[in-house]
Amino acid sequence: MVKTNSGAPRHAQHSQILVEPGTPGIEILRPMMVFSKDDAPHGHMHMRFTDVRVPKANIIAGPGRGFEVAQGRLGPGRIHHCMRAIGQAEKALELLCRRGMSRTAFGKPLVKLGANYDIMA
């Protein structure tokens, strides 16, 4: 994503450009972490672009449409990450409930001690 027209309305100032792998000036720095997990080699990467040159024909959807393109991609990505977080939370709650019901202390299941029901809720 690059700024291509500073004078346009804010949502139309940027364009997205396809840059072919192997173009001189591209440097892959390291993989990004998503929910503390490394998505490499297929995931997101931190990259540096130094004096990279690409043809105008590589602009995606046309000049000034970068925000539109980004939103089209980010919407489903946000849903995907939310689903992953909800799944992890559901699994954690299930494990917590199982442990609280199966383990005992002072002759009672852990869930019946103190305010554990409230804490779990």
Report the pLDDT value the prediction gives residue 39, as an integer from 0 to 100.
66
pLDDT tens-digit series, residues 12-70: 999 999 999 899 999 999 888 877 777 666 678 889 999 999 999 999 999 999 999 99
* Cα 61 from Cα 84, distance rounded (Å): 30
Q: What is the DSSP string of 45-110?
A: EEEEESS----GGGEESSTT-HHHHHHHHHHHHHHHHHHHHHHHHHHHHHHHHHHHHH-EETTEEG
- What average pLDDT does the segment 104-109 reach? 93
Residues paired with residue 47 on neighbouring β-strands, in sequence order? 28
Residue among 92, 96, 103, 102 nearest 118 (CA) = 96
Residue 119 pLDDT level (bands cut at 50, 70, 90): confident
Residue 79, pLDDT above cutoff 80: yes
Report the pLDDT value the prediction gives residue 87, as an integer from 0 to 100.
96
Whole-model pTM?
0.55
Three-state SS at 26? strand
Report the pLDDT value the prediction gives residue 116, as an integer from 0 to 100.
86
Parallel/antiparallel/unpaired status of strands 26-31 and 14-17: unpaired
Q: Over the chain, what is the mean pLDDT?
A: 90
Could you give the domains of the chain? 2-86 (2.40.110.10)
Report the pLDDT value the prediction gives residue 33, as an integer from 0 to 100.
81
